Amino acid sequence: MGSKADLLQGTLDLIVLRVLSLGPKHGYGIATRIRQISEDVLQVNQGSLYPALLRLEQRGWIKSYWGTTDTGREAKFFELTRAGRKQLAVESENWERVKGAIGRLMEAVE
Amino acid sequence: MRMLWSRIRGFVFAGRLDRDLDREIEAHVALIAEGLVERGISPGEARRMAIREFGNICLAKEDYRERRGLPMLEMLIQDVRFAVRVLRRKPAYSIAAMIVLALGIGLSTAVFSVIHGVLLSRLPYPDQDRLLTLWQTNPKKQGTRDEVAIANFLDWKERQRSFENLAVIEPFSHELMGDGEPEAIRSWIVSEGFFSIMGTPPLLGRWFTAEDYRAAPQEGYAPGGGNVVILSYGLWQRRFGGDPKVIGRAFPLRGRPMIVVGVMPPGFQYPLKRELWAPRLAQKQDRESRVSTYMMAVARLKPGVRIDQARDDMIRIATELEREHPATNKGSSIQLIPIADALTGHVRTAFWILLGAVGLLLAVACANVGGLVLARGVERTHELAVRRALGASPGRLMRQLVTETSVLSLCGGIAGVAIAHLAARTLRALPVPDVPRMEQVGISVPVVAFAVAVSAFTAVVCGLLPALRLGGGDSSGAMKAGGRSFVTTPARERARRWLVAGQIAVSMVLLTSAGLLTRSLVHLLAIHPGFTGQRVISLEVHAYRRTPTPEERIAYFRQTTESIRQVPGVQAAAAVSALPFHENAIDVETPVQATGEALKPIDARPVARVTVITPDYFQLMRIPLRQGRFFTDSDGPSSARVAIINEAMARSLFAGTDPVGRQIIVGRGANHVRQIIGVTANTLRTGLDESPRPEFFLPHAQSGAGSMTFVVRTESDPWIALPAIKEAIWSVKRGQPFSKIATVDALVAGTHGERRFQLALISVFAALSLLLAAVALFGFMSYSTSQRRSEIGLRMALGASRRDILRLIISDGLAIAAAGAAAGTAGSWIVGSGIRAMLFGVAHYDVATFASVVLTLAGVTLTASALPAMRAASTDAANALRSE
Q: What percent of chain B has pLDDT over 70?
A: 89
Q: How far is A82 from chain B (nearest CA, A)?
A: 16
Q: Is B225 helix (H, G, I), strand (E, B) or coil?
A: coil
pLDDT digits (tens, 9 = 90+) for B381-410: 777 777 777 777 777 777 777 888 888 888
pLDDT digits (tens, 9 = 90+) for B198-228: 988 899 999 998 888 886 666 666 677 778 8
B3:A76 CB<8 A: no
Query: What pLDDT is stored for residue B488 in this prediction?
Result: 54
Whether B67 contacts chain A with CB within 8 A: yes
* pLDDT (0 to 100) of residue B284: 78
What confidence score (pLDDT) does residue B212 get? Answer: 84
Q: CB of A50 within 8 A of CB of B57?
A: no
The SS3 call for residue B874 is coil
Res B713: pLDDT: 95
Query: Cα separation of B444 and B446, whole Å?
Result: 6
B743 phi and psi, to 5 degrees? -80, 155
CA-based angle A80:A86:A87, to the nearest 5? 80
**What is residue B586's predicted lDDT score, i.e. its pLDDT?**
64
Say how many CB pairs under 8 Å bridge A and B.
71
pLDDT at residue B792 in the model = 84
**pLDDT value at residue A68:** 82
Inter-CA distances, A58 with A24, A49, A64, A83, Å:
17, 14, 11, 12
Contacts of B34 in chain A (CB under 8 A): 71, 73
DSSP-derived pairing of the beta strands B589-594 and B183-190:
unpaired
Residue B623's pLDDT is 94
Q: Check CB contact under 8 Å for B28 and A27.
A: yes
pLDDT band, residue A5 (cuts 50/70/90): very low
| Interface contact flag, B28 A74, Cβ < 8 Å | no
B67 and A69 in contact by Cβ < 8 A? no
pLDDT in the model for residue B178: 60
A9 has pLDDT over 60: no
β-pairing verdict for B256-263 and B228-231: parallel
Reading phi first (left if > 0) and then psi (alpha if -120 to 50, else beta), residue B771 is in alpha
Digit-coded pLDDT (tens) for B639-670: 999 999 999 999 988 887 889 999 998 877 66
> In this complex, do A51 and B59 lie within 8 Å of one another by their Cβ atoms?
no
Whether B22 contacts chain A with CB within 8 A: no
Look at residue B432 in the predicted model and tell me its pLDDT.
58
Intervals of chain B under pLDDT 50: 475-476, 478-479, 481-487, 884
CA–CA gap between residue B374 and residue B368 (Å, rounded): 10
- DSSP annotation string for B661-689: T-EEEESSSS--EEEEEEEE-----S-TT
B739 residue type, one letter: S
pLDDT for position B794: 85
pLDDT in tens, B433-442: 556 666 677 7
pLDDT in the model for residue B700: 93
Give the integer Cα–Cα distance in Å for B34 and B55: 17
**Residue A109's pLDDT is what?**
63
**Predicted ipTM beyond 0.95:** no
Q: What global pTM score does this model have?
A: 0.62
Cβ proximity of B613 and B574 under 8 Å: yes
The contact set of A with B (CB < 8 A) is 26-29, 31-32, 45-48, 50-51, 54-55, 57-60, 69, 71, 73-76
Chain B CB contacts of A31 under 8 Å are: 28
Mark yes or no for CB contact B34/A50 under 8 Å. no
pLDDT value of residue B483: 44
Calculate helix-pair angle for B307-324, B150-159, nearest 10 degrees. 120
Mutation for testing the B interface, residue in A76, A77, A78 having most B CBs under 10 Å: A76
Q: What is the pLDDT of residues B721-777, one digit of tens each?
A: 999 999 999 999 888 888 888 899 888 887 777 777 778 878 887 888 888 888 888
pLDDT of residue B368: 78
What residues of A are in contact with residue B59 (Cβ under 8 Å)?
A: 47
Does an H or E element contain A61, and which? none
Residue B388: what pLDDT? 75
Can you give the pLDDT at residue B454? 85
